[in-house]
Structure 1
Amino acid sequence: MNFSPVRYSADVAPPEPDFDRHMRQAIDVIEDFERGSVEGEGEGRAVRFAHAKAYGLVRGTLEILDGAPPEYAQGVYGRPGTHDVLVRYSNGLSHLGADRMLGNVVGMAVKVFGVDSTTTLPDEATSRTMDFNMINGPIFFCNTAAHYTFLSKLFIDMPKYRLDGRRGNHRMYYNWVTGYGTLPPEEWAWDELGALLRLGARARWQNLLLSSFFSMGAMRHGDYIAKLRIRPTDASAAGVRARVLDPTSQDEVFRPALVGELARSDHEFDFQVQLCASLETMPVDDLTVEWEEHESPFVTVGRLRFPRQDIGGEDNLAAADGLSFTPWRCPPEHVPIGPIQAVRKEVYRRSSVLRHELNGQHRAEPASAADVLPDRS
């Protein structure tokens, strides 16, 4: 290691001014959407305000590898062993519909079982699960609780913008930068818009098993600060047959390709940690800035494996939608850091509680992966 990683402290990211008020506004927007989604999305059920459309729920294992350098072998990554996992692949937006209308910014939510620690969520401290919320890009396009409200509205309105073509795009950019016309010019979200455009440009219409997924936000990594990446191994990526997807060919392209590849072969991924080397060049409170690998490389601390399996059928999608994922379902030594991470704690919880209530689902963390997804390999 040719750098000294930044050590974690509780005050590494100062609280955002007027945080509670902005968070309540975001919650109001999201809860209004979820109530309306029961009829608005056409399926008679409430959907998530983000990552609404599931592409599949996958059963696998995460092996925490032995022998990682001490700075990386922190917290759960310092305890070698193998855990069952469930992985939910999804679209990033708030809606259901054809893949070509929703776009190719996609998510990978990972639930790890058998974690030997309490979580930071008081109502389920003993669940022994740990979640990772990842997308197929290293940056995010929102930095504050205030902008999170506008982001929520943007996600909800995105299909309307896209249906209106170029004019719709212009209106979307204006609303995003100006906070729907409410922000003074000195607070306009130019950096956030740039991140939105860069993320869209980097996303690919490809098999989900070929994509790398990132935590976007920073988190405590024991004594240090880190971001995460899940990347297919070279051998696993080389074996994927259905590689490039054509969203104009049919309404569904991501799910059929995922189902087909998992039915045919096993797949393997590197679970990696990138340590913060400098708070100036690798900030924790500005998610529009990519942490450069020349300053701090990603180091593999685990291996995620999917056995060959059948994830086809509506029961798989129903199981995916019954689960909740939040980066705050984690041990204290891996607590999320920064304003956006902080707003997610209550927003995700409230969204999950309301969605389960509207859908008549019992909300509880599963005790095992088999309780949710029996082996159908």
Structure 2
Amino acid sequence: MGGHKPSRFIPYTPDVEAAVPDFDELLRTVIAKTERYIAESVTAEGSGQAVRDAHAKGYGLVRGEVEILDQLPAEYAQGIYATPGRHDALVRFSNGSPHAGADARLGRATGLALKMFGIQGPTLLEDEPDTGTFDYTLINAPVFFCNTVKHYLFIQELFLDAPKYFAQGAPGRHRFYREFVTGKGSLAEDEWAWDEFLAFLAVSQRPLVNVLLSTYFTMGAVRHGDYIAKVRLAPDPASAAAIVHRAIDLAAADEVFRPALVAEMRDRPYAFDIQVQLCADLNRMPVEDLTVEWPERLSPFVTVARLRLPQQDISDEETLKKMDALSFTPWRVTAEHAPLGEIMRAREEVYRRSSLQRHRLNQQERREPRSADEVSS
């Protein structure tokens, strides 16, 4: 019996997260603003429905199956990935904007929210621990443009007002950039949000492609059992090569992302690889700085599962309504996959309160489905 050789990966300990003074007070302010926006969205967004305060516009709900792979290396076979097997899944593709309306107004950030069924063990959500579901909420960029709740307060305001800024052409755009960097004048010059602004530019210049062709990331770090990780969903190369409706032309029509997704899913199946990148160096792969892309040369992404999307017709409006009634949150996970860092921690209560209010205003039952069949048969 030989001893275990030490891992080159950083072990998870609670002290990888920083304590934040005033966190609860700042969070209350974010929640109040979020709830006010959602209440106003019923009339402001023109659909008569309350929308999400981010990823408001959904492009399609797709049924799938996640296969957790067998014989993974021990450091990757952690938490839910320690048990090989198949799980039904639902995927919501969306735009990252807090607004609905024509695609050309909404920008290039797109999202993939994944819900897996039949996952054992309680979730971290105190009000619904025993749902058997497990969510990822991912965006099409490896970085995020906000690290702290203090910054989120002004960034949230800027994003809610973004269409007004950008409707004014170059002067409005420049004012948006200036107010982003200076925190709307609230930051001392040596605290200006340059790193966040550069990350915002990186996200806002993502290529315009069919949502199936993007790679989607957890934004922040998450616990991976005994370790610390970022997770991404990367298109399976053979699936990606087969896509016909590849580029997105925002000038072509008001709706461009959804028709391209509907056309592909009607004609062929698709697959993503679910991949884990373990933290090997807390300085160069920080938990609390989301503007830093973790270098793959320090730790590559390793495939731990496959998400397969069978050929299917997702064109009917009824499915869109069912998609809208679903709730996704990065905290609907087991403890071994807890989100890490200040912004990820803030998302727990923001997402919960946002979902509660949206369902109440839309008179939708807020209940986690027990199976994919309940939502999409």
Give the TM bin, normalised by the shorter chain: over 0.9
Whether the 8 Å contact between 1:49 and 1:152 is mirrored in structure 2 is no
**Which of 295, 299, 303 does residue 298 from structure 2 map onto?**
295
Q: Deviations over 1:79-99 (max 9, x none)?
A: 000001110000001101111
Q: Deviations over 1:263-284 (max 9, x none)?
A: 0011011110000011000000
Cα displacement (A) at 1:184: 2.1
> Distance in 1 between the 2:186 and 2:248 partners?
39
Q: How many residues align?
A: 373
Aligned residue in 1 for 2:155? 151
SS at structure 1 position matched to 2:81: helix
**Which of 185, 197, 206 does residue 189 from structure 2 map onto?**
185
The AA in structure 1 aligned to 2:148 is: T
Unaligned runs of 5+ in 1: none
Aligned residue in 2 for 1:170? 174
1:351 maps onto 2:359 in alignment = no
1:100 maps onto 2:104 in alignment = yes
After superposition, the Cα gap between the structure-2 partners of 1:97 and 1:224, relative to the gap in structure 1 and judged at 3 Å, is same
> Distance in 1 between the 2:91 and 2:159 partners?
23
Whether the 8 Å contact between 1:140 and 1:287 is mirrored in structure 2 is yes
**Which of 272, 279, 282 does residue 279 from structure 1 map onto?**
282
SS at structure 2 position matched to 1:301: strand
Aligned residue in 1 for 2:320? 317
> Distance in 1 between the 2:141 and 2:73 partners?
26
SS at structure 2 position matched to 1:336: coil
Whether the 8 Å contact between 1:50 and 1:155 is mirrored in structure 2 is no
TM-score normalised by the chain length of structure 2? 0.97
Q: Deviations over 1:3-26 (max 9, x none)?
A: 711000112111212111111111
Whether the 8 Å contact between 2:145 and 2:196 is mirrored in structure 1 is yes
Whether the 8 Å contact between 1:99 and 1:254 is mirrored in structure 2 is yes
SS at structure 1 position matched to 2:327: coil
Cα displacement (A) at 1:2: 11
After alignment, is 286-295 or 159-168 more displaced?
159-168
The AA in structure 1 aligned to 2:209 is: Q
TM-score normalised by the chain length of structure 1? 0.97
Whether the 8 Å contact between 1:225 and 1:276 is mirrored in structure 2 is yes
**Which of 45, 52, 75 does residue 48 from structure 1 map onto?**
52
RMSD between aligned alpha carbons? 1.2
> Distance in 1 between the 2:82 and 2:154 partners?
39
Unaligned runs of 5+ in 2: none
Whether the 8 Å contact between 1:33 and 1:49 is mirrored in structure 2 is yes
The AA in structure 2 aligned to 1:216 is: M
Cα displacement (A) at 1:183: 2.1
SS at structure 1 position matched to 2:119: coil
After alignment, is 242-251 or 147-156 more displaced?
147-156
Cα displacement (A) at 1:55: 0.3
**Which of 82, 93, 96 does residue 89 from structure 1 map onto?**
93
Cα displacement (A) at 1:186: 2.7
Cα displacement (A) at 1:244: 0.9
Aligned residue in 2 for 1:224? 227
> Distance in 2 between the 1:184 and 1:66 partners?
52
SS at structure 2 position matched to 1:341: helix
The AA in structure 2 aligned to 1:27 is: I
Aligned residue in 1 for 2:10? 6
1:258 maps onto 2:283 in alignment = no
Q: Deviations over 1:184-243 (max 9, x none)?
A: 223221110011011222x11111111111111101000000001101111100110111
